[in-house]
Structure 1
Amino acid sequence: MAITDRRQRERTAQRDLIVASARVLAEQEGWDAVTTRRLATEIEYSQPVIYKHFASLGALAEAVALEGFAELAAAVHQARVGAADADPVVVVAHAYVDWAVANPSLYDVMFVRATGLQFGAEETPPQLTEGYAELLAATSTVAGDRDPEVLTEVLWAALHGLVLLDRGGRLRPAHRRARVEAVAALLAG
């Protein structure tokens, strides 16, 4: 049993190293730089070792994205529960945008690059549903007789649009916080 446990720990450590290296490489040079050849060089393993863990670069990107979704959900949750007397929609909206701005490559693999990850399906991974649940918890506080899930989708779409337009240099950088608060105010009705 000890040998089997050790081998499993080694496989897990290899997988974690591959994911972490892909993430670092993407943060430093963009997702186009993440290739199996480049990763193999970076982690000093052969390409077949990478393919032993991930059938494709798409599968690796999904693993990185899942980490990102978990981190985003945690950031939004922490902001929401720590909001005290503040408007939870405003707090959650700022947490979402701040996290996206601080993690552009991770945000890209989560929301811009094509992956097989599905939202709103039976097989949706919990990392995806947890972040949505945090947004839903915030919008539920202002929903009144409106559908809180529709409000959540509108908030999410608005924040995502703001993030991408801001990153593309199409919005005035000094007004990021005001835009986020305006979105929250519009939802509050």
Structure 2
Amino acid sequence: MVADHLRLHIAASAPTVAQLLAQDVALDLVILDLRLADGSSPKANVEELRAAGLETLVFTGAENPYLLRLAARAGVLGVVRKSEANDTVVAAILAAADGRQVVTTEWAAAIDGDPGLSEVGLSPRQRDVLALYASGEKATRVARLTGLTPHTVNDYLARIRAKYAEAGRPAATKTDLYKRAVEDGWLPVPEHPNR
């Protein structure tokens, strides 16, 4: 894909960020897939690369919005789909190599969440309660894990449900709350067991 572009040279590749950094090769930009061999978090990978002074462009199939959001929120220069035409991918790499943001629909959606979903405006504490409760914890356990009282957890859950209802995205059941948490990127998209 980059062979015909004189400005681009692939200096190194590796199945994990740790192995890439261990190669002691001068790099201008890292093109990162969201799923690496070690199962590492995209957020942790981007943060590790940034700590090493390297900027990142995500190159992905974009099949998992949760992973995209993790990487985007960690501060990547942009996101480009593997399904894009070669010229589009090369233009994105060139822009990122120059330190410019690569603004695409995928990147914007990863930062803002799905533009088709109305924002509910949960506070950080409400997001914590939602993530724990929607992932299967009971309200009493959520209270212990967050240092809140069970009454406060139940109050938060009622407020969370009200906010989703006001946004036109009702969440009357625990399953509904789980779906909303996944849609908004507070919980990972479940993986198929055969992957």
TM tier, smaller: under 0.3
Between 1 and 2, higher relative CO (CA 8 Å, sep ≥ 6) is seen in 1
Higher strand share: 2
> What TM-score, normalized to structure 2?
0.26
> What TM-score, normalized to structure 1?
0.26
